[in-house]
Structure 1
Amino acid sequence: MKHRLLILGTLGEFVQLVKKSKERGYYTIVCDGYPDGPARQYADASYVISVTDIDAVAELCQKEKVDGIVTSFSDLLMECMVKIAEKAGLPCYLKPEQLCWYRDKSACRELLSKLGLPTPGFVKVPAAEQNEYKLAEITAGLKYPLISKPLDKYGSRGIFIIKDQEQLAGSVRKTAEFTDLDEILIEEYNDGFEFNMMTWVSDGAVRVISIADREKTQFAEGELPESTRNVYPSCLIDKVEESAVSLLQSYVEYTGQKEGPLSMQFFWKAGEGIQVCEIAARFFGYEHELTDMVYRFNMEELLLNYVYDNEYVTKMLEAQDIRKPLMHGAVLYFHGRLKQIQEQQAAYELAEDKAVVKPWIFYEAGEEVVAYGPNPYLALYYIEAGSREELDEITRDFFKKMSMTDPDGEEIVFQNKIPKYSL
């Protein structure tokens, strides 16, 4: 009988997943709240239902006789998939009772502390608290600089750097505007090198798929630096892999995750070791394409194999060696001011560069840049080269040439920077 697969998500990063599902002969259904999601045009059936309406999507599964469900690239989508799978009686790598350790930032921090694993010092603060002395008392055990962040949001929303006690109350107030909860998180800020690691849990064992350098640029004083380039493979693999895998192994042994995707953002400083930033039970959006470019390891194939052909998951993982890239690759992210775009010829010219594997320009001329919509960046480019040195040279050229201007001729694009890796 022909498999009937529900893919939760229709934005651009799901297009390849839908196409590959169709190529395998699966009857492919897509669903989310975006009526114009580009993945819809490739599916056999398409539904516009908010992913947070668990009952409605579970009813859809019954109606369409769905026998498999998959998603990735977003914490919210992952959470909804787990709940929908439980409601509809579909297989899934997590149960709802396990979600707190992957979705609740405070629960994650508390578990890391309980297990004795390295994580920034943190406290939870009442979102309504504005008394400077009370806040100073609550955070007395933490070392500046700090950051304030919501416990219920994603995508770096509402996160601010706190340099000293004078900025504490103001940052708490700004973060509180982004949360629906009664508390926010205050934690120590780590300014070390940052990494994205994607793994797969197979029969309870953590298997590494990739480790990338996650490079960031600070665009405004007091705001968290934004991700501006992720590079595969990391130039510091030998310094971080063993301890990062060991940490994740301890984590899943407690949470009970036996199968499925598992990703971690973490920091490393010479002489201080690694420190966890975030742990997620999904792959990174707008980045999983790099494993295909650099290693010919396709994440869409892995996700589909897990749902319907699990023996190939083991074969894929056994063949993967993060120290043997076929290419060096990076994704370049460009952020900008919230203005109307008038001219972006430079962005289109860069898209034609021979180093570009795939360009993604998110706005048309005349459109307004928005902060938290379906378009997370002005543009991004997947680039590849034969060496890290060549990749860095291409990156600098892109950072120098990239430009979009508003109707007054003012520059919209923020200027990206490459960090120095002097150790």
Structure 2
Amino acid sequence: MHKNEDSPRLLILGSMDEFCLLVKRARERGCQAIVADGYADGPARAFADESYVVDIRDRDAMVRLCREQRIDLLVASFSDILFESGCLAAHDTGLPATCSLNALDRLRDKDLMKRMFDELGIPHSSSKTVSTNGTAIDLEGLRFPCVVKPLNGYGSYDICVAENSEDACAFMRHMENQGYDQALVEEYDAGHEFNMMCWVANGQAHILSIADREKTWRGSGEVPHVSRIVYPSCFSSEVIDEASRHAQSIADHLGLVNSPLCIQFFWSPGESVRVCEAAGRIFGYEHELLEYASGLAVEDLLLDLALGEDTGLRLKGHDPLAFPTCCCGVYFHTRGGAPVNLKDAPQAFDAAGAREWICYYGEHDVMSEGKGGKPYVARAYLQAPSRDLLDEATREVFASFSVRDAEERELILPNELPS
């Protein structure tokens, strides 16, 4: 579409690969697409009309950027920190925001979130918020094993599974050394885990998708890592009614009218849905799978919302229980080290007919594990007509993807399909 100086100036927070399509579609719809985050080499910058390097966690810097660049609209999704920074910037500068500051508090503070679940009668794992210099007495009443994580952390970093209160306290000391003041200690839920994408349109929470969030166990004390996320879930019909009610309750409680809403929850046969977390944004590094499996593009919904269009119109006819195909994202995590033959690794994806794939490291990059490193060594999106064929392709990729160091030690953490 032709753009001129009167075209809306749309700020997109995020410049990594998952934002490329959003930037392209924003320009196609006549927006001046402006990209900003702290990654100077973000690939989405190449497709933007303008781009800026800024620490999005710096609230004053975000206000200056919005005002100096005459921003009209703002899109912030795909991660908690982007959503939070975008929401604050919108409120600070008078731009349209997807939720109130009160709702933002409940979507970002895990303690406030748990209180909200209690108020709404939504089941969740028992937990306690304690100081990182707390003692075993502070954890009395919890059943171990427990997950220990920062109260206001993000990105699944600095988390462990503690088998007893002594292990929990030891990890809390570690968190204190990392600069965290408070920890959330939560009973570990061994049920099936799900990612549910919702979209609130005109106050009604619509289910976009329910996906199986599959993990591989790493051993005692380690948090299982996400190895595969599958669209649609093989349990969608069993959980959708209860999960939908919880989504609507959360949307109503927070006053969400037009907004993304994503929920992680657990479920076991014969038991209730237990909600883990809710977020006011779309899941990153997997939202593409929704479009592959169903044809519905999250980018279009985000742009509809930013441009003030009725997102409910795009949702008509969308059925989360009737996707025409199956898709999954497979994710490869690292032990850390220096790869020597990464250039050969993508052959595993090509052999399995991957829809798309990306390696986050170059041939001579040093791999790093945990916070500060790249999200994964690599990820790939697979697509198949059925779940059985998708499983078959996944097994092939899990078995063949390999990155070794100079001593021929495997640097990739093992992935496996659940029973």
TM-score by length of structure 2 reads: 0.95
AA in 2 matched with 1:159? I
- Partner residue in 2 for 1:176: 176
- Partner residue in 2 for 1:18: 23
- Partner residue in 2 for 1:45: 50
Per-residue deviation, 1:407:
1.7
Q: Residue 59 of structure 1 contacts residue 88 of structure 1 at CA under 8 Å; is this kept in 2?
A: no
Q: Tell me, which stretches of 5 or more residues in structure 2 are unaligned? A: 1-5
- Partner residue in 2 for 1:158: 158
In 2: Cα distance, 1:287 partner to 1:170 partner: 34
Per-residue deviation, 1:232:
0.5
Per-residue deviation, 1:320:
1.0
In 1: Cα distance, 2:51 partner to 2:153 partner: 27
Q: Tell me, which stretches of 5 or more residues in structure 1 are unaligned? A: none
- Partner residue in 2 for 1:415: 414
- Partner residue in 1 for 2:106: 101
Does 1:66 pair with 2:71? Answer: yes
In 1: Cα distance, 2:20 partner to 2:372 partner: 18
Does 1:406 pair with 2:405? Answer: yes
Q: Residue 196 of structure 1 contacts residue 211 of structure 1 at CA under 8 Å; is this kept in 2?
A: yes
Structure-to-structure mapping, 1:224-239, within 5 angstroms: 224-239=223-238
2:331 paired residue among 323, 330, 333: 333
Q: What CA deviation, in whole Å up to 9, does each residue of 1:114-151 have, x standing for no partner?
A: 2221011011111112x4xxx1x322222222111101
Structure-to-structure mapping, 1:306-321, within 5 angstroms: 306-311=305-310, 313-321=311-319
In 2: Cα distance, 1:63 partner to 1:383 partner: 43
In 1: Cα distance, 2:252 partner to 2:113 partner: 14
Does 1:148 pair with 2:153? Answer: no
Q: What CA deviation, in whole Å up to 9, does each residue of 1:31-88 have, x standing for no partner?
A: 1111111111111111111111222222222222221100211101100101101111
Q: Residue 176 of structure 1 contacts residue 184 of structure 1 at CA under 8 Å; is this kept in 2?
A: no
Q: Which moved more, 1:287-296 or 1:350-359?
A: 350-359
2:355 paired residue among 357, 365, 382: 357
Moved segments of 4+, more than 6 Å: none
In 2: Cα distance, 1:216 partner to 1:179 partner: 28
TM-score by length of structure 1 reads: 0.94
In 1: Cα distance, 2:23 partner to 2:95 partner: 19
- Partner residue in 2 for 1:2: 7
Per-residue deviation, 1:221:
2.2
Per-residue deviation, 1:374:
5.9
- Tell me how many residue pairs correspond in the alignment: 413
Q: Residue 343 of structure 2 contacts residue 363 of structure 2 at CA under 8 Å; is this kept in 1?
A: no
Q: Which moved more, 1:29-38 or 1:189-198?
A: 29-38
In 1: Cα distance, 2:140 partner to 2:123 partner: 20
Are the structure 2 counterparts of residues 178 and 217 from structure 1 closer, same or farther at C-alpha, using a change threshold of 3 Å? farther
Are the structure 2 counterparts of residues 164 and 354 from structure 1 closer, same or farther at C-alpha, using a change threshold of 3 Å? closer
Q: Which moved more, 1:58-67 or 1:300-309?
A: 58-67
Q: Residue 145 of structure 1 contacts residue 163 of structure 1 at CA under 8 Å; is this kept in 2?
A: yes
Q: Residue 346 of structure 1 contacts residue 401 of structure 1 at CA under 8 Å; is this kept in 2?
A: no
In 1: Cα distance, 2:146 partner to 2:349 partner: 38
Q: Which moved more, 1:225-234 or 1:368-377?
A: 368-377
- Partner residue in 1 for 2:248: 249
In 2: Cα distance, 1:353 partner to 1:176 partner: 46
Per-residue deviation, 1:309:
4.6
Per-residue deviation, 1:354:
5.3
In 2: Cα distance, 1:303 partner to 1:171 partner: 39
Per-residue deviation, 1:228:
0.7
In 2: Cα distance, 1:167 partner to 1:373 partner: 24
Are the structure 2 counterparts of residues 76 and 175 from structure 1 closer, same or farther at C-alpha, using a change threshold of 3 Å? same
Q: Residue 150 of structure 1 contacts residue 178 of structure 1 at CA under 8 Å; is this kept in 2?
A: no
In 2: Cα distance, 1:374 partner to 1:30 partner: 22
% identical equivalent positions: 37
Per-residue deviation, 1:224:
0.9
Q: Residue 345 of structure 1 contacts residue 404 of structure 1 at CA under 8 Å; is this kept in 2?
A: no
1:78 paired residue among 65, 77, 83: 83
Does 1:394 pair with 2:393? Answer: yes
Does 1:204 pair with 2:213? Answer: no
Q: Is the partner of 2:351 in helix, strand or coil?
A: coil
AA in 1 matched with 2:255? G
AA in 2 matched with 1:163? E
AA in 1 matched with 2:115? E
In 2: Cα distance, 1:58 partner to 1:2 partner: 21
Per-residue deviation, 1:259:
1.6
AA in 2 matched with 1:162? A
Per-residue deviation, 1:373:
3.2
1:344 paired residue among 342, 360, 371: 342
In 2: Cα distance, 1:297 partner to 1:159 partner: 33
